[in-house]
Structure 1
Amino acid sequence: MKAFINFAHRGASGAAPENTMAAFHKALEQGANGIETDVQMTSDHKLVLMHDEAVNRTTNGQGYIKDYTLSELQQLDAGSWFSEAFKGEQVPELKQLLALGKDRGTFINIELKNGIIPYPGLEEEVIAAVREYGMEERVIISSFNHYSLVHCKKLAPDIATAILYMEGLYQVCDYAQTVGADALHAFKYAVLPELVAEARDRGLAYHPFTVNAPDEMKRLLKAGVSGIITDYPDVLHALLQQEEV
Protein backbone atom coordinates (compact mmCIF):
# COMPACT_ATOMS: atom_id res chain seq x y z
CA MET A 1 0.00 0.00 0.00
CA LYS A 2 2.55 2.56 -1.12
CA ALA A 3 0.09 4.88 -2.88
CA PHE A 4 -1.28 7.80 -0.87
CA ILE A 5 -4.77 6.82 0.25
CA ASN A 6 -7.68 9.25 0.39
CA PHE A 7 -9.94 7.30 2.76
CA ALA A 8 -13.60 8.35 2.74
CA HIS A 9 -14.74 8.06 6.37
CA ARG A 10 -17.82 5.82 6.41
CA GLY A 11 -17.98 6.74 2.74
CA ALA A 12 -18.48 10.36 1.72
CA SER A 13 -20.36 10.94 4.96
CA GLY A 14 -20.38 14.70 4.51
CA ALA A 15 -22.53 14.29 1.39
CA ALA A 16 -24.53 11.09 1.96
CA PRO A 17 -25.75 8.94 4.87
CA GLU A 18 -22.74 7.25 6.45
CA ASN A 19 -21.99 3.59 5.82
CA THR A 20 -24.46 3.19 2.95
CA MET A 21 -23.81 2.19 -0.63
CA ALA A 22 -24.84 5.72 -1.61
CA ALA A 23 -22.01 7.11 0.54
CA PHE A 24 -19.51 4.62 -0.88
CA HIS A 25 -20.42 5.41 -4.49
CA LYS A 26 -20.36 9.14 -3.75
CA ALA A 27 -16.87 8.77 -2.26
CA LEU A 28 -15.53 7.27 -5.47
CA GLU A 29 -17.22 10.01 -7.50
CA GLN A 30 -15.45 12.57 -5.29
CA GLY A 31 -11.99 11.16 -5.91
CA ALA A 32 -11.46 8.78 -2.98
CA ASN A 33 -9.25 5.78 -3.65
CA GLY A 34 -10.02 4.31 -0.23
CA ILE A 35 -13.11 3.76 1.90
CA GLU A 36 -13.23 3.44 5.69
CA THR A 37 -16.12 1.53 7.22
CA ASP A 38 -17.26 -0.24 10.39
CA VAL A 39 -18.27 -3.90 10.57
CA GLN A 40 -20.59 -5.59 13.04
CA MET A 41 -22.54 -8.84 13.11
CA THR A 42 -26.26 -9.64 13.06
CA SER A 43 -27.97 -12.30 15.14
CA ASP A 44 -27.69 -14.67 12.15
CA HIS A 45 -23.94 -13.98 11.85
CA LYS A 46 -24.02 -11.74 8.77
CA LEU A 47 -21.44 -8.95 8.45
CA VAL A 48 -23.04 -5.51 8.16
CA LEU A 49 -21.70 -1.98 8.01
CA MET A 50 -22.72 0.50 10.71
CA HIS A 51 -20.74 2.60 13.16
CA ASP A 52 -22.96 2.50 16.24
CA GLU A 53 -23.78 -0.71 18.07
CA ALA A 54 -27.41 0.42 18.07
CA VAL A 55 -29.47 1.29 14.99
CA ASN A 56 -31.23 4.26 16.63
CA ARG A 57 -29.13 7.14 15.26
CA THR A 58 -28.82 6.18 11.60
CA THR A 59 -32.02 4.27 10.88
CA ASN A 60 -35.71 4.45 11.73
CA GLY A 61 -35.32 1.43 14.02
CA GLN A 62 -34.50 0.86 17.66
CA GLY A 63 -32.20 -1.56 19.45
CA TYR A 64 -28.92 -3.32 18.85
CA ILE A 65 -27.58 -4.78 15.61
CA LYS A 66 -26.78 -8.01 17.45
CA ASP A 67 -30.49 -8.55 18.05
CA TYR A 68 -31.54 -8.17 14.40
CA THR A 69 -31.36 -10.74 11.62
CA LEU A 70 -29.99 -9.47 8.33
CA SER A 71 -33.45 -9.56 6.79
CA GLU A 72 -34.91 -7.52 9.65
CA LEU A 73 -32.05 -5.02 9.51
CA GLN A 74 -32.43 -4.46 5.78
CA GLN A 75 -36.08 -3.53 6.22
CA LEU A 76 -34.96 -0.39 8.06
CA ASP A 77 -34.52 2.99 6.37
CA ALA A 78 -30.87 4.00 6.72
CA GLY A 79 -31.07 7.16 4.62
CA SER A 80 -33.94 9.42 5.63
CA TRP A 81 -32.25 10.60 8.85
CA PHE A 82 -29.68 12.33 6.63
CA SER A 83 -31.98 13.58 3.88
CA GLU A 84 -35.27 12.57 2.27
CA ALA A 85 -33.29 12.26 -0.96
CA PHE A 86 -31.79 9.06 0.48
CA LYS A 87 -35.03 7.51 1.73
CA GLY A 88 -34.96 3.74 1.46
CA GLU A 89 -31.17 3.29 1.68
CA GLN A 90 -30.43 -0.04 3.31
CA VAL A 91 -27.82 -1.11 5.82
CA PRO A 92 -25.25 -2.78 3.54
CA GLU A 93 -23.38 -6.02 3.96
CA LEU A 94 -19.59 -6.07 3.96
CA LYS A 95 -19.62 -8.20 0.82
CA GLN A 96 -21.34 -5.41 -1.11
CA LEU A 97 -18.50 -3.01 -0.34
CA LEU A 98 -15.84 -5.62 -1.07
CA ALA A 99 -17.44 -6.26 -4.45
CA LEU A 100 -17.43 -2.53 -5.19
CA GLY A 101 -13.81 -2.17 -4.10
CA LYS A 102 -12.71 -5.17 -6.14
CA ASP A 103 -14.28 -3.72 -9.28
CA ARG A 104 -12.83 -0.24 -8.77
CA GLY A 105 -9.35 -0.99 -7.40
CA THR A 106 -10.26 0.68 -4.10
CA PHE A 107 -8.51 0.28 -0.75
CA ILE A 108 -10.88 -0.72 2.08
CA ASN A 109 -10.25 0.00 5.75
CA ILE A 110 -12.48 -2.32 7.78
CA GLU A 111 -12.83 -1.28 11.41
CA LEU A 112 -13.85 -4.15 13.69
CA LYS A 113 -16.47 -2.76 16.09
CA ASN A 114 -16.02 -5.27 18.86
CA GLY A 115 -14.86 -3.07 21.71
CA ILE A 116 -18.22 -2.71 23.41
CA ILE A 117 -20.21 -5.71 22.18
CA PRO A 118 -18.16 -8.86 21.57
CA TYR A 119 -18.94 -10.66 18.34
CA PRO A 120 -17.44 -14.15 18.62
CA GLY A 121 -15.91 -15.17 15.32
CA LEU A 122 -15.93 -11.66 13.85
CA GLU A 123 -12.25 -11.77 12.89
CA GLU A 124 -12.62 -15.15 11.16
CA GLU A 125 -15.70 -14.05 9.24
CA VAL A 126 -14.15 -10.79 8.06
CA ILE A 127 -10.96 -12.49 6.89
CA ALA A 128 -12.98 -15.15 5.06
CA ALA A 129 -14.93 -12.42 3.25
CA VAL A 130 -11.75 -10.55 2.30
CA ARG A 131 -10.28 -13.75 0.88
CA GLU A 132 -13.50 -14.60 -0.98
CA TYR A 133 -13.21 -11.35 -2.91
CA GLY A 134 -9.44 -11.53 -3.38
CA MET A 135 -8.95 -8.23 -1.55
CA GLU A 136 -6.05 -9.27 0.70
CA GLU A 137 -3.65 -6.70 -0.77
CA ARG A 138 -6.11 -3.79 -0.62
CA VAL A 139 -7.69 -4.25 2.82
CA ILE A 140 -6.54 -2.86 6.15
CA ILE A 141 -8.23 -4.24 9.26
CA SER A 142 -8.28 -1.69 12.09
CA SER A 143 -9.67 -1.65 15.60
CA PHE A 144 -9.48 0.02 19.00
CA ASN A 145 -9.50 -3.58 20.28
CA HIS A 146 -5.84 -4.44 19.84
CA TYR A 147 -6.32 -7.98 21.11
CA SER A 148 -8.51 -8.46 18.06
CA LEU A 149 -5.77 -7.17 15.77
CA VAL A 150 -3.26 -9.64 17.23
CA HIS A 151 -5.78 -12.41 16.56
CA CYS A 152 -6.23 -11.22 12.97
CA LYS A 153 -2.47 -11.28 12.37
CA LYS A 154 -2.28 -14.86 13.65
CA LEU A 155 -5.11 -15.86 11.33
CA ALA A 156 -3.93 -13.89 8.30
CA PRO A 157 -0.35 -12.56 8.41
CA ASP A 158 -0.74 -11.36 4.80
CA ILE A 159 -3.57 -8.90 5.55
CA ALA A 160 -2.56 -5.47 6.86
CA THR A 161 -3.72 -4.31 10.29
CA ALA A 162 -3.79 -0.89 11.93
CA ILE A 163 -4.04 0.17 15.56
CA LEU A 164 -6.65 2.83 16.25
CA TYR A 165 -5.86 5.21 19.10
CA MET A 166 -6.80 8.66 20.36
CA GLU A 167 -4.07 10.18 22.54
CA GLY A 168 -0.31 10.00 22.32
CA LEU A 169 1.08 6.52 22.80
CA TYR A 170 4.57 6.26 24.26
CA GLN A 171 6.99 4.68 21.78
CA VAL A 172 4.11 4.01 19.44
CA CYS A 173 6.26 2.34 16.77
CA ASP A 174 7.60 -0.16 19.30
CA TYR A 175 4.08 -0.83 20.50
CA ALA A 176 2.72 -1.27 16.97
CA GLN A 177 5.35 -3.86 16.24
CA THR A 178 4.48 -5.85 19.37
CA VAL A 179 0.91 -6.00 18.04
CA GLY A 180 2.17 -6.88 14.56
CA ALA A 181 0.44 -3.86 13.04
CA ASP A 182 1.33 -2.38 9.65
CA ALA A 183 -0.23 1.07 10.14
CA LEU A 184 -1.14 3.68 12.74
CA HIS A 185 -4.65 5.09 12.61
CA ALA A 186 -4.32 7.90 15.11
CA PHE A 187 -6.60 10.78 16.00
CA LYS A 188 -5.28 13.75 14.04
CA TYR A 189 -3.91 15.66 17.06
CA ALA A 190 -1.72 12.70 18.04
CA VAL A 191 0.16 12.85 14.73
CA LEU A 192 3.45 14.80 14.74
CA PRO A 193 6.05 15.09 11.96
CA GLU A 194 8.77 13.39 13.98
CA LEU A 195 6.47 10.42 14.68
CA VAL A 196 5.58 10.14 11.00
CA ALA A 197 9.27 10.14 10.05
CA GLU A 198 10.08 7.44 12.61
CA ALA A 199 7.15 5.33 11.48
CA ARG A 200 8.19 5.61 7.83
CA ASP A 201 11.72 4.52 8.72
CA ARG A 202 10.27 1.47 10.44
CA GLY A 203 7.89 0.52 7.66
CA LEU A 204 4.72 1.79 9.30
CA ALA A 205 2.10 3.94 7.57
CA TYR A 206 0.23 6.79 9.27
CA HIS A 207 -3.44 7.31 8.35
CA PRO A 208 -4.85 9.96 10.75
CA PHE A 209 -8.59 10.47 11.35
CA THR A 210 -11.03 12.29 11.03
CA VAL A 211 -9.52 15.19 9.12
CA ASN A 212 -12.05 17.58 7.59
CA ALA A 213 -10.49 21.07 7.66
CA PRO A 214 -8.22 21.94 4.71
CA ASP A 215 -5.61 23.47 7.04
CA GLU A 216 -5.40 20.23 9.01
CA MET A 217 -5.12 18.24 5.78
CA LYS A 218 -2.26 20.49 4.64
CA ARG A 219 -0.45 20.11 7.99
CA LEU A 220 -0.63 16.35 7.81
CA LEU A 221 0.34 16.20 4.14
CA LYS A 222 3.39 18.31 4.99
CA ALA A 223 4.20 15.90 7.83
CA GLY A 224 4.34 13.10 5.26
CA VAL A 225 1.44 10.84 6.26
CA SER A 226 0.61 7.93 3.97
CA GLY A 227 -3.11 8.63 3.89
CA ILE A 228 -5.91 10.62 5.50
CA ILE A 229 -9.35 9.54 6.70
CA THR A 230 -11.93 12.27 5.99
CA ASP A 231 -15.65 12.91 5.66
CA TYR A 232 -14.87 15.09 2.64
CA PRO A 233 -12.78 13.13 0.11
CA ASP A 234 -13.53 15.77 -2.54
CA VAL A 235 -11.74 18.45 -0.48
CA LEU A 236 -8.74 16.19 0.08
CA HIS A 237 -8.72 15.16 -3.58
CA ALA A 238 -8.49 18.80 -4.65
CA LEU A 239 -5.59 19.42 -2.24
CA LEU A 240 -3.77 16.33 -3.44
CA GLN A 241 -3.98 17.54 -7.02
CA GLN A 242 -2.44 20.85 -5.93
CA GLU A 243 0.25 19.14 -3.86
CA GLU A 244 0.87 16.39 -6.43
CA VAL A 245 1.25 13.78 -3.70
Structure 2
Amino acid sequence: MTEIINFAHRGAAGHRPENTMVSFARALELGATGIETDVQMTKDGELVLIHDETLDRTGGVSLWIKDLTLAEVKSHDVGSWFHEDYRGETVPTLQQLLELVKDTDTIVNLELKTGVVMYPGIEAKVIEAVRRFGMEKRIIISSFNHYSLVECKKIAPEIRTGILYMEGLYEPWNYAKQIGADALHAYKYALIPELVAAAKQAGVVYHPFTVNESEHMKALLQAGVAGIITDYPDRLTELLSKQGV
Protein backbone atom coordinates (compact mmCIF):
# COMPACT_ATOMS: atom_id res chain seq x y z
CA MET A 1 0.00 0.00 0.00
CA THR A 2 1.27 3.48 -0.86
CA GLU A 3 2.17 5.50 2.20
CA ILE A 4 -0.41 8.15 3.09
CA ILE A 5 1.20 11.59 3.42
CA ASN A 6 0.53 13.15 6.82
CA PHE A 7 0.72 16.87 5.93
CA ALA A 8 1.07 19.13 8.96
CA HIS A 9 -0.97 22.23 8.10
CA ARG A 10 1.20 25.32 8.70
CA GLY A 11 3.22 22.96 10.87
CA ALA A 12 1.53 21.50 13.95
CA ALA A 13 -0.86 24.47 13.98
CA GLY A 14 -3.14 22.88 16.58
CA HIS A 15 -0.25 22.76 19.06
CA ARG A 16 2.12 25.62 18.15
CA PRO A 17 1.84 29.06 16.51
CA GLU A 18 1.24 28.40 12.80
CA ASN A 19 3.99 28.81 10.22
CA THR A 20 6.85 29.15 12.71
CA MET A 21 9.98 27.06 13.00
CA VAL A 22 8.78 25.71 16.37
CA SER A 23 5.57 24.58 14.67
CA PHE A 24 7.41 22.82 11.82
CA ALA A 25 9.81 21.10 14.23
CA ARG A 26 6.93 19.95 16.46
CA ALA A 27 5.10 18.55 13.41
CA LEU A 28 8.05 16.29 12.63
CA GLU A 29 8.17 15.12 16.27
CA LEU A 30 4.45 14.23 16.04
CA GLY A 31 5.00 11.97 13.03
CA ALA A 32 4.19 14.29 10.13
CA THR A 33 5.62 13.01 6.85
CA GLY A 34 4.71 16.22 5.05
CA ILE A 35 4.61 19.92 5.92
CA GLU A 36 2.15 22.35 4.35
CA THR A 37 2.97 26.05 4.44
CA ASP A 38 2.23 29.35 2.70
CA VAL A 39 4.67 31.46 0.69
CA GLN A 40 4.54 35.25 0.40
CA MET A 41 7.23 37.70 -0.75
CA THR A 42 8.75 40.69 1.02
CA LYS A 43 9.44 44.12 -0.46
CA ASP A 44 13.07 43.10 -1.02
CA GLY A 45 12.10 39.87 -2.81
CA GLU A 46 12.64 37.37 0.01
CA LEU A 47 10.34 34.33 0.35
CA VAL A 48 8.65 34.09 3.74
CA LEU A 49 6.20 31.59 5.22
CA ILE A 50 3.02 33.23 6.48
CA HIS A 51 -0.62 32.58 5.64
CA ASP A 52 -2.07 36.08 5.69
CA GLU A 53 -0.95 38.91 3.43
CA THR A 54 -0.66 41.13 6.51
CA LEU A 55 0.72 40.80 10.04
CA ASP A 56 -2.64 41.75 11.56
CA ARG A 57 -3.74 38.40 12.93
CA THR A 58 -0.48 36.75 13.99
CA GLY A 59 1.74 39.80 14.51
CA GLY A 60 -0.75 42.30 15.91
CA VAL A 61 0.22 45.07 13.47
CA SER A 62 -1.63 46.26 10.34
CA LEU A 63 1.29 45.94 7.95
CA TRP A 64 1.44 44.19 4.57
CA ILE A 65 4.22 41.66 3.92
CA LYS A 66 4.71 43.14 0.42
CA ASP A 67 5.51 46.55 1.95
CA LEU A 68 8.15 45.30 4.40
CA THR A 69 11.74 44.15 3.98
CA LEU A 70 12.72 40.76 5.36
CA ALA A 71 14.43 42.46 8.33
CA GLU A 72 11.23 44.40 9.07
CA VAL A 73 9.08 41.26 8.84
CA LYS A 74 11.51 39.44 11.15
CA SER A 75 11.31 42.25 13.72
CA HIS A 76 7.74 41.26 14.60
CA ASP A 77 6.74 38.54 17.06
CA VAL A 78 4.29 36.01 15.60
CA GLY A 79 4.23 33.54 18.50
CA SER A 80 2.67 35.26 21.50
CA TRP A 81 -0.80 35.57 19.90
CA PHE A 82 -0.98 31.77 20.24
CA HIS A 83 0.56 31.55 23.73
CA GLU A 84 2.97 33.64 25.77
CA ASP A 85 5.41 30.68 25.77
CA TYR A 86 6.12 31.38 22.09
CA ARG A 87 6.87 35.09 22.32
CA GLY A 88 9.82 35.88 20.07
CA GLU A 89 8.93 33.42 17.30
CA THR A 90 9.35 35.14 13.95
CA VAL A 91 8.12 34.60 10.39
CA PRO A 92 10.48 32.00 8.84
CA THR A 93 11.99 32.11 5.38
CA LEU A 94 11.50 29.33 2.86
CA GLN A 95 15.22 28.65 3.15
CA GLN A 96 14.90 27.99 6.91
CA LEU A 97 12.24 25.34 6.33
CA LEU A 98 14.14 23.66 3.49
CA GLU A 99 17.24 23.54 5.71
CA LEU A 100 15.19 21.92 8.50
CA VAL A 101 13.89 19.10 6.29
CA LYS A 102 16.64 18.64 3.70
CA ASP A 103 18.13 15.55 5.39
CA THR A 104 14.74 13.90 6.01
CA ASP A 105 12.18 12.27 3.68
CA THR A 106 9.62 14.99 4.45
CA ILE A 107 7.39 16.13 1.58
CA VAL A 108 6.87 19.90 1.53
CA ASN A 109 3.67 21.44 0.18
CA LEU A 110 4.28 25.09 -0.69
CA GLU A 111 1.10 27.11 -1.19
CA LEU A 112 1.77 30.17 -3.33
CA LYS A 113 -0.33 33.06 -2.02
CA THR A 114 -0.92 34.75 -5.35
CA GLY A 115 -4.58 35.59 -4.84
CA VAL A 116 -4.72 38.96 -3.09
CA VAL A 117 -1.18 40.10 -3.99
CA MET A 118 0.22 38.84 -7.30
CA TYR A 119 3.93 38.81 -6.27
CA PRO A 120 5.51 38.99 -9.75
CA GLY A 121 8.08 36.26 -10.31
CA ILE A 122 7.34 34.33 -7.11
CA GLU A 123 6.96 31.06 -9.04
CA ALA A 124 10.49 31.25 -10.48
CA LYS A 125 11.94 32.31 -7.12
CA VAL A 126 10.34 29.39 -5.28
CA ILE A 127 11.53 26.90 -7.90
CA GLU A 128 15.04 28.33 -7.80
CA ALA A 129 15.15 27.81 -4.02
CA VAL A 130 13.83 24.25 -4.33
CA ARG A 131 16.41 23.40 -6.98
CA ARG A 132 19.19 24.91 -4.89
CA PHE A 133 18.35 22.33 -2.21
CA GLY A 134 17.92 19.52 -4.75
CA MET A 135 14.42 18.87 -3.41
CA GLU A 136 12.42 18.84 -6.66
CA LYS A 137 11.08 15.32 -6.02
CA ARG A 138 9.88 16.19 -2.49
CA ILE A 139 7.95 19.36 -3.27
CA ILE A 140 4.31 19.93 -4.18
CA ILE A 141 3.38 23.47 -5.19
CA SER A 142 -0.28 24.35 -4.63
CA SER A 143 -2.32 27.50 -5.09
CA PHE A 144 -5.86 28.81 -5.40
CA ASN A 145 -4.45 30.81 -8.33
CA HIS A 146 -4.20 28.13 -10.99
CA TYR A 147 -2.34 30.45 -13.36
CA SER A 148 0.54 30.18 -10.87
CA LEU A 149 0.43 26.39 -11.15
CA VAL A 150 0.59 26.55 -14.94
CA GLU A 151 3.56 28.91 -14.68
CA CYS A 152 5.34 26.51 -12.28
CA LYS A 153 4.84 23.59 -14.69
CA LYS A 154 6.30 25.67 -17.52
CA ILE A 155 9.41 26.40 -15.47
CA ALA A 156 9.73 23.01 -13.75
CA PRO A 157 7.65 20.19 -15.27
CA GLU A 158 9.30 17.77 -12.81
CA ILE A 159 7.83 19.47 -9.71
CA ARG A 160 4.36 18.29 -8.67
CA THR A 161 1.49 20.77 -8.46
CA GLY A 162 -1.79 20.63 -6.56
CA ILE A 163 -5.02 22.46 -7.40
CA LEU A 164 -6.52 24.15 -4.35
CA TYR A 165 -10.29 24.58 -4.49
CA MET A 166 -13.23 24.92 -2.14
CA GLU A 167 -16.26 23.25 -3.69
CA GLY A 168 -18.10 21.60 -6.53
CA LEU A 169 -15.55 21.45 -9.35
CA TYR A 170 -17.02 19.21 -12.05
CA GLU A 171 -14.74 16.25 -12.86
CA PRO A 172 -11.73 18.06 -11.40
CA TRP A 173 -9.34 15.33 -12.56
CA ASN A 174 -10.03 16.37 -16.17
CA TYR A 175 -9.25 19.97 -15.26
CA ALA A 176 -6.08 18.80 -13.46
CA LYS A 177 -4.98 17.01 -16.63
CA GLN A 178 -5.69 20.13 -18.67
CA ILE A 179 -3.32 22.28 -16.60
CA GLY A 180 -0.79 19.51 -15.94
CA ALA A 181 -1.50 19.26 -12.20
CA ASP A 182 -0.74 16.08 -10.25
CA ALA A 183 -3.02 16.47 -7.23
CA LEU A 184 -6.32 17.93 -6.07
CA HIS A 185 -6.16 19.83 -2.77
CA ALA A 186 -9.87 20.05 -2.09
CA TYR A 187 -11.60 21.49 0.94
CA LYS A 188 -12.61 18.50 3.07
CA TYR A 189 -16.35 18.86 2.32
CA ALA A 190 -15.77 19.00 -1.45
CA LEU A 191 -15.13 15.33 -1.96
CA ILE A 192 -16.89 12.00 -1.74
CA PRO A 193 -15.46 8.51 -2.29
CA GLU A 194 -16.72 8.41 -5.90
CA LEU A 195 -14.63 11.48 -6.77
CA VAL A 196 -11.52 10.04 -5.15
CA ALA A 197 -11.95 6.80 -7.11
CA ALA A 198 -12.54 8.57 -10.44
CA ALA A 199 -9.53 10.83 -9.92
CA LYS A 200 -7.33 7.87 -9.01
CA GLN A 201 -8.37 6.12 -12.20
CA ALA A 202 -7.25 9.23 -14.12
CA GLY A 203 -3.91 9.22 -12.29
CA VAL A 204 -4.69 12.21 -10.07
CA VAL A 205 -4.51 12.03 -6.26
CA TYR A 206 -6.43 13.86 -3.53
CA HIS A 207 -4.90 15.68 -0.54
CA PRO A 208 -7.92 17.24 1.26
CA PHE A 209 -7.64 20.11 3.80
CA THR A 210 -8.00 20.95 6.74
CA VAL A 211 -9.08 17.71 8.41
CA ASN A 212 -8.85 17.75 12.21
CA GLU A 213 -11.40 15.21 13.45
CA SER A 214 -10.26 11.58 13.65
CA GLU A 215 -13.60 10.28 12.36
CA HIS A 216 -13.37 12.46 9.29
CA MET A 217 -9.77 11.36 8.74
CA LYS A 218 -10.89 7.74 8.95
CA ALA A 219 -13.63 8.25 6.34
CA LEU A 220 -11.22 9.97 3.94
CA LEU A 221 -8.63 7.22 4.35
CA GLN A 222 -11.31 4.65 3.55
CA ALA A 223 -12.22 6.70 0.47
CA GLY A 224 -8.64 6.32 -0.74
CA VAL A 225 -7.06 9.77 -0.46
CA ALA A 226 -3.28 9.89 -0.88
CA GLY A 227 -2.69 12.38 1.91
CA ILE A 228 -4.45 14.52 4.49
CA ILE A 229 -3.65 18.11 5.49
CA THR A 230 -4.27 18.60 9.22
CA ASP A 231 -3.50 20.91 12.15
CA TYR A 232 -3.08 17.77 14.29
CA PRO A 233 -0.57 15.43 12.64
CA ASP A 234 -0.44 13.41 15.88
CA ARG A 235 -4.10 12.36 15.42
CA LEU A 236 -3.41 11.14 11.89
CA THR A 237 -0.18 9.43 13.01
CA GLU A 238 -2.15 7.50 15.64
CA LEU A 239 -4.86 6.54 13.17
CA LEU A 240 -2.35 5.35 10.54
CA SER A 241 -0.42 3.29 13.10
CA LYS A 242 -3.65 1.58 14.21
CA GLN A 243 -4.45 0.77 10.59
CA GLY A 244 -0.89 -0.44 10.00
CA VAL A 245 -0.36 2.02 7.16
Residue pairs, 1:141-160, within 5 angstroms: 141-160=141-160
Distance, in Å, in 1 between the alignment partners of 2:244 and 2:154 is: 37
Please give the secondary structure, in 1, of the residue aligned with 2:57.
coil
Q: Deviations over 1:14-68 (max 9, x none)?
A: 0000000000000001010100000000000000000000111011432100011
Please give the secondary structure, in 1, of the residue aligned with 2:170.
coil
| Structure 1: runs of 5 or more not aligned | none
Distance, in Å, in 1 between the alignment partners of 2:54 and 2:125 is: 21
Distance, in Å, in 2 between the alignment partners of 1:244 and 1:205 is: 21
| Structure 2: runs of 5 or more not aligned | none
Aligned residues: 244
Please give the secondary structure, in 1, of the residue aligned with 2:169.
coil
Residue pairs, 1:143-182, within 5 angstroms: 143-182=143-182
- Worse overlay, 190-199 or 75-84: 190-199
1:239 is matched by which residue type in structure 2? L
Please give the secondary structure, in 2, of the residue aligned with 1:24.
helix
Distance, in Å, in 2 between the alignment partners of 1:220 and 1:164 is: 17
Distance, in Å, in 1 between the alignment partners of 2:3 and 2:69 is: 38
Equivalent residue number for residue 90 of structure 2? 90
1:205 is matched by which residue type in structure 2? V
Please give the secondary structure, in 2, of the residue aligned with 1:109.
strand
Equivalent residue number for residue 224 of structure 2? 224
Equivalent residue number for residue 119 of structure 1? 119
Kindly report the root-mean-square deviation, in angstroms, between the aligned alpha carbons of the 2 structures.
0.8
Q: Deviations over 1:90-132 (max 9, x none)?
A: 1000011111121222100000001111100000000000000
Please give the secondary structure, in 1, of the residue aligned with 2:56.
coil
Distance, in Å, in 2 between the alignment partners of 1:99 and 1:5 is: 20
Equivalent residue number for residue 211 of structure 1? 211
Equivalent residue number for residue 58 of structure 2? 58
1:173 is matched by which residue type in structure 2? W
Equivalent residue number for residue 9 of structure 1? 9
Please give the secondary structure, in 1, of the residue aligned with 2:11.
coil
Deviation at 1:192, TM superposition (A): 1.1
1:135 is matched by which residue type in structure 2? M
What TM-score do the two structures reach when normalised by structure 2?
Answer: 0.98
Distance, in Å, in 1 between the alignment partners of 2:61 and 2:3 is: 39
Distance, in Å, in 1 between the alignment partners of 2:84 and 2:142 is: 32
Please give the secondary structure, in 1, of the residue aligned with 2:149.
helix
1:9 is matched by which residue type in structure 2? H
Equivalent residue number for residue 243 of structure 2? 243
Distance, in Å, in 2 between the alignment partners of 1:75 and 1:103 is: 29
- Percent identity at matched positions? 62
Equivalent residue number for residue 110 of structure 2? 110
Distance, in Å, in 2 between the alignment partners of 1:10 and 1:57 is: 15
Equivalent residue number for residue 18 of structure 1? 18
Residue pairs, 1:40-51, within 5 angstroms: 40-51=40-51
Distance, in Å, in 2 between the alignment partners of 1:105 and 1:172 is: 29
- Worse overlay, 145-154 or 99-108: 99-108
What TM-score do the two structures reach when normalised by structure 1?
Answer: 0.98
Are residues 1:78 and 2:72 paired?
Answer: no
Q: Deviations over 1:193-244 (max 9, x none)?
A: 1111111112111000000011100110100100000000000100000112
Equivalent residue number for residue 183 of structure 1? 183
Equivalent residue number for residue 139 of structure 2? 139
Please give the secondary structure, in 2, of the residue aligned with 1:82.
coil
